[in-house]
Amino acid sequence: MLGTVGELFIITAFVACALSGITFFWAAQTNVGAEKRLWTRAGRWSWGAMTAGVLVASGILWYLLLTHQYQYAYVYQQTSNELPLRYLISAFWAGQEGSFLFWGIMMCVTGGLLISYVKRRYEAPVMAVVALCQFALLSMVVGLQFGSMPIGASPFMTLAEKFPTAPIFQDNPHFIPADGQGLNDLLQNPWMTIHPPVLFMGFASMVVPFAFAISALWKRKYTQWVRPALPWTIFAILMLGVGIAMGGYWAYITLSFGGYWAWDPVENSSLVPWLLGVAALHTMLVQKKSGSSHKAALILSILAYIFVVYSTFLTRSGILGDVSVHSFVDLGLYNQLLIWIVGMGVLGLGMFAWRYNELPEPDKEPRIISREFMIFSGAMILTAISAVVILGTSTPILGHVFHESPSTVPIEFYNRWTLPLALGLVFLAGVGQLMWWSKMGVEQLNRVVIKPLAAAAAATIAILVLTPFAEQTVILPADVPTQEFAQASFTEGFGVFWDTYGYALMLLMLIFGSFFALFGNGAVLWRIGRGNPRMAGGAVTHIGFAIMMLGIVASSAFDRPLPLLDQIRTTADIENTARENFVLARGETRVVSGYEVTYRDRAVNDYGRDEYVLDITDRQGRSYTLTPEAYEADDGQWFMHPGVKKFFEQDLFVAVTPRAATGIDDDPDVTGGEFQLARGDSTVIGNDEYAIAFKGFDMEVPEHDLPGDTRLAVAAVIEMTDLATNEMRRLDPVYMVTHDNQERYVEAYIEDWDIRLAFTDMDVDTGRANFAIDGVDVMPDDWVVVQASVKPLISLVWIGFIMLSVGFVIALVRRVQDVQSR
């Protein structure tokens, strides 16, 4: 019964939204005062009725979720009896239908604020566009059926309605399950309760600059729209940016891939509107101040929302289901979503093309050495980055034309193209704030940039001197002999030079540019902050951006696994297989790259999940305990949630994979494992079958046994004894480092015993060495694969984004005050 009531309220809201759009449209079209007021009042009342319908329907859905009404498909699929209250609440937006409805709530709030605070001369045209967008959104959940054509997927559909052919409903149409499937384990995280609402508020508020831009084109008010639209634009990019940052932090502390950004298509699809929104903001500032960039401000405001809709299409059409872990399944809304994106594109781009010849031209183009030109250039770079990201994100869609199962582009695609664009962006972020509007020449520019440039140069030199920057970024051309390099043509030589030093040089320039933006905007903040703090938003934002870029470079480019090992499951897998982990048996202590790691215990936490207790002593002598989770869900899928120890200068990121999750128990023929010995130590392996003694290192490895690109080679002297026959064999596995800093191994093989041994890492100071063996078991029943990495200065990423957001808040307050004062 309640579900039927909920559906009626959604239908009521859907109809009221259409009436609101129509009445606001007629209010915008008429110039007769009394008639305009009448239509506007009808539009407001209709919007209020729509809002009431959405809120009541949402309240009913929340009640169904909280009271475990499993006869409804959405409740059954998203909740279970054991789900805590906060996740029962957040289950509202966990599924596709509920998230559309929650987005609708945010649109109701946005429209209500617009009606309350926007100037009356803008209300009718802007709200007509907002109502159109809300109508398209509500159509996704209205759940109507016209013949064979469905419109939307209702969150109040019952299980029997959704799965009519299921045998259980054939026999018992009134069957109600005793428990639900439960919320996806990855979504059972505190960040799930706040990240999606903030992101949806960003999506909803991004409609406002779009509506202002369409209204400006519609009513031929090509310049007046910017002032009232500025606060809404800042608010939209603030909320969307905070939502994206929350998602990145959620991924970092929840997923075991070891980062905060993986260039996942769904992640990218929310990043693109934010980048375009920031670009639109900057062009709007130029238009407001100097009267130029009209076209850019309009088209970027339009594109920002179009790509909000496009991101919805990517996420919810099911088209990325095979290439993104975040994508929703297809609910049959593919055609509706496609109509939505095409409709918004035709409306926005069509209006822009229709009015293009009428758009005003500036009296004169900005000089190159001017703040207007620098800000406009920065907006164009942001647009170019957006184009790169959306191109890479859309490759699965484009690939469907040529392949049945298209794949995404590799991460290197994004890094290769965005890195040089980021260089230009950080330099402009520094120069733009140092310049005054249309008042600066070459001489004045030199005077204001010299100090920030000198400080940036000093900081960059300090990075080179005090950190292992060069050795971790320069890629030596091991496959090009020196003689051939000397005889190469200029083009070939430059190619080799760039392959060797190009990445390092670009990172170095990015560091220099980030320091320049930091010091330049710091000087501006010092000057402005003492006089008029409300003007400091831009400087604070750019300082946050510079700090964030430094954190991204440090945590991504210099992220180092612990230890630098190759992926070893058995020694047969050693060659050409990379990994960043090591194995620990319960009760075992290993020293890995200066870190002492002990797998002490396994426990069950308050959520009923297995957590693995690791005691760690780091290089600075600090001791602490991490408890990463790893557990098997009811559907047989394994989830690994990392443990992170945070310091200002670095994080230690640790995830574990227990033996049961490796699949090794499914293959009884797989034997082997890893062990660590100090020089002079010995151990017994293989159920007391063999004794192994580590005698020491041999630095005199014959050159004819080594590849030509070997820079360092060390052999481990091992004596292995068959305890049944007392037969002893000497083994000399070799550990190598090549000229391009790659690690290689020459394994030792005892053919008649069918045993392979590899020497995989060493610590000369302590005399310890790591070995991998294949052909005999060395591990007990309880062991874990530990993935650990050190992430330098990752705290700067979060600090920088907080400052970036604070700057937007300062700018938002200022722009709101400006609008209210007029």
CA nearest to 657, candidates 607, 583, 568, 599: 583
> Percentage of residues in the chain with pLDDT exceeding 70?
89
Q: How far is 756 from 70, CA to CA, in rounded Å?
A: 56
Of the pLDDT bands very low, low, confident and very high (cuts 50, 70, 90), residue 633 is confident
Structural tokens at position 429: 């972020």
278: phi then psi, degrees, rounded to nearest 5: -65, -40
- pLDDT, tens only, 223-253: 889 999 999 999 999 999 999 999 999 889 8
Across 398-422, average pLDDT: 76
Residue 484 has pLDDT above 60, yes or no: no
In tens, the pLDDT along 129-174 reads: 999 999 999 999 998 887 777 888 899 998 888 888 778 877 787 8
Express each pLDDT in 528-579 by its tens digit: 877 788 888 999 999 999 999 999 999 988 888 876 533 333 333 333 334 4
Give pLDDT, residue 566: 36
Buried b (16+ CB within 10 A) or exposed e, 371-401: bbbbbbbbbbbbbbbbebbbebbbbbeebee
For the chain, how far is it from start to end, CA to CA, in angstroms? 52
More confident residue, 742 or 63: 63
- SS3 (DSSP) at 124: helix
Confidence of residue 699 (pLDDT cuts 50, 70, 90): confident
Which is more confident, 192 or 771? 771
Give, as one character, the DSSP assignment of residue 142: -
Integer CA distances (angstroms), 423 to 7, 369, 611, in order? 52, 19, 42
Query: Regarding predicted confidence, which is higher, 718 or 369?
Result: 718
Going by DSSP bridges, is the β-strand pair 673-678/650-658 parallel, antiparallel, or unpaired? Answer: unpaired
Bridge partners of 612? 602
- Render pLDDT for 714-764 as a digit per residue (tens, 0 to 9): 999 999 999 888 899 999 999 888 877 777 888 899 988 889 999 988 876
Most distant CA atoms of the chain, gap in Å? 108
What was the pLDDT predicted at 478? 43
* Tokens describing residue 796: 């700067």
pLDDT at residue 713 greater than cutoff 50:
yes
Output the six-digit token pair for 680. 């002079």
708 residue type, one letter: G
pLDDT at residue 22 greater than cutoff 80? yes
H or E, element range at 625: strand 623-626
The CA distance from 219 to 124, in Å, is 11
Q: What is the mean pLDDT of residues 327-349?
A: 80
Q: Is 540 exposed, middle or buried (0-12, 13-18, 19+ CB in 10 A)?
A: buried
Comparing CA positions, the residue from 103, 55, 94, 58 lying closest to residue 180 is: 94
Spatial distance between the Cα atoms of 755 and 753, rounded to a whole number of angstroms: 5
Q: Provide the H-helix boundaries in 402-488.
A: 411-434, 442-466, 469-473, 482-487
Q: What is the mean pLDDT of residues 385-403?
A: 79
pLDDT for residue 805? 96
Structure-token pair, residue 685: 């392996």
Half-sphere exposure of 587 (CA within 13 A, CB side): 4
Q: Say which residue, 155 or 593, is predicted with more confidence.
A: 155
**Per-residue pLDDT tens digits for 647-679:** 999 999 999 999 888 776 666 666 777 888 888
Give the dihedral of Cα atoms 690, 693, 698, 704; nearest 10 deg.
0
Q: What is the predicted pLDDT for the residue at 285?
A: 93
Compare 111 and 774 and report the one with higher pLDDT. Answer: 111
pLDDT at residue 110 greater than cutoff 90 = yes
Q: Which residues of 617-639 are buried (b: 16+ CB within 10 A; e: fewer)?
A: bbeeeeeeebbbbbbeeeeeebb
- How many Cβ atoms sit within 10 Å of the Cβ of residue 479? 11
What's residue 476's pLDDT?
Answer: 47
Radius of gyration over every alpha carbon of the chain, rounded to an integer in angstroms: 31
Q: What pLDDT sits at residue 579? A: 46
pLDDT tens for 295-308 read: 999 999 999 999 99
Res 317: pLDDT: 67
Task: Summarize the confidence of residues 698-717 as an average pLDDT.
Answer: 82
pLDDT of residue 337: 85
Question: Is residue 508 scored above 70 in pLDDT?
Answer: yes
Lowest-pLDDT range, 296-300, 340-344, 402-406?
402-406
Alpha-carbon span 27 to 121, nearest angstrom: 10
Q: How many CA atoms lie within 13 A of 127 on its CB side?
A: 40
* Pair 616, 645: CB distance under 8 Å: yes
Strands 682-685 and 690-698, sheet pairing: antiparallel
Q: Percent of the chain beyond pLDDT 90?
A: 48
For residue 89, name the pLDDT band (cuts at 50, 70, 90). Answer: very high
SS3 595: strand
